[in-house]
Amino acid sequence: MRALGLTLACLLVLTCLLVAASANGQVASSRTDEKPLMAEDVFKNVQVLKGIPVKEFLNTMGFFSAATNLNCIDCHSPQSESLEGYAIDTPRKQTARRMILMVNAINEANFGGRHSVTCYTCHRATDRPEAIPSLLDQYSVPEDDPDRVEVIPAGPVQSVRQISADQILDKYLQAIGGAPQLARLTSFIAKGTYEGFETFSAKVPIEIFANAPNQLTTVVHTQNGDSVSTYDGNHGWIAAADKLMRVLPLTGGDLEGARMDAFLSFPARIKQEFQWRTGFPSVSIDDRPVQVIQNAARGTAGAKLYFDSESGLLVRQVRYVDTAVGVIPTRIDYSDYRGVAGVKVPFRRVVTWTDGRSTIELSDVQPNARIEAAQFATPAPPKGKPQN
């Protein structure tokens, strides 16, 4: 956990730098541009990680920190007071570049170019990988990580257990109110609080706008301006006050995640919209047994959902985003279910990912509210900041 706080502090600094760069007109801003902005268009000294969107580049930095337990300034110049600071080469940064090339070469030569070996394979959250096997590891009981990603091989989806994904989902739909009740909830506006690193761990207001079957907009009113994430049923965007002062279209795993969140807001079609598989080893969350299903997107890491075996309620989602060097997980824990027009809705959500943790607590959910279509359009760039 040592690196986490510093990593977050670092991301905040970076944010300001990017905002400054934008204000200086060094970075072009475009409201409707759907083409993701590439790392080398924004950053000054990208030698290896070229041709990937800015969001994926920053996700990759998150992967590095998580894999090595080094925070941003452990690799970057300690005086990263300008954007140039991140562009400066340090010995560690140069080592990391060599490591990227080494890992690519290993994967090319041995694993058909797949990300079979990643930074984490050796580093396991330390900067100095162990070379000598530990007897302690060998003779202690290994703990199973229930969040572990399982990439589904191409080919027919098989279930090894008796209980099917459909049965688990039927129980869930029943537990939150049943199909007829679910059909009556067609939209909602939720209000509450958000707490995370970009709010300096203070509680700030959040608003969630949702339209059945699959439109979802979340607005966090941070001290620096609004952070907006939108999924309109097909496309998704984030316009985060703390990230780049611009609208970043979501792609890949980020887009799949937005789609999943939208459908989970109105779960009536959750069975049909995804291809679920089950048959995972039994696991517990907080000492309660759970049943696990996974979205069986072939050859990729599909989201996993965890349902309380007794109540049938959804307690966790874990999903994965591909970076330039491997996959990183995001976890969402759901609790405090309360009735909204006869449908049970989780009022508390805790989101954990490589860059930090945030808590959302709803206080008021207004069912079947009228929401303007504009609420689900491409968000405007964050307000209150200089534009060019």
The footprint of ligand HEC (CB under 6 A) covers: 7, 10-11, 14, 43-49, 61-62, 64-65, 68, 70, 72, 74-76, 86-87, 92-93, 95-97, 99-100, 103, 117, 119, 121-123, 127-129, 325
Smallest distance, Å, CB 339 to ligand HEC?
Answer: 40
Cβ proximity to ligand HEC: between 28 and 183 the closer is 28
Cβ proximity to ligand HEC: between 39 and 208 the closer is 39
Cβ proximity to ligand HEC: between 107 and 291 the closer is 107
Listed residue (184, 233, 185, 191) closest to 208, CA to CA: 191
Cβ proximity to ligand HEC: between 91 and 153 the closer is 91
Smallest distance, Å, CB 92 to ligand HEC?
Answer: 5
Smallest distance, Å, CB 80 to ligand HEC?
Answer: 8
Give, in order, the Cα–Cα distances in Å from 124 to each of 68, 106, 118, 119, 292. Answer: 7, 18, 10, 8, 25
- Count CB neighbours of 80 within 10 A: 18
Q: In whole angstroms, what is the distance from residue 265 CA to residue 285 CA?
A: 22
Q: In whole angstroms, what is the distance from residue 30 CA to residue 369 CA?
A: 32
Smallest distance, Å, CB 354 to ligand HEC?
Answer: 8
Q: In whole angstroms, what is the distance from residue 13 CA to residue 268 CA?
A: 42
Cβ proximity to ligand HEC: between 100 and 290 the closer is 100
Smallest distance, Å, CB 218 to ligand HEC?
Answer: 23
Cβ proximity to ligand HEC: between 23 and 189 the closer is 23
Listed residue (319, 320, 217) closest to 265, CA to CA: 217
Q: In whole angstroms, what is the distance from residue 187 CA to residue 129 CA?
A: 50
Establish how many alpha carbons lie within 13 A of residue 299's alpha carbon, considering only the half-sphere containing its beta carbon. 3
Q: Which residues are within 8 A (CB) of 35 and not within 5 positions of it... i.e. 6 or more apart?
A: 249
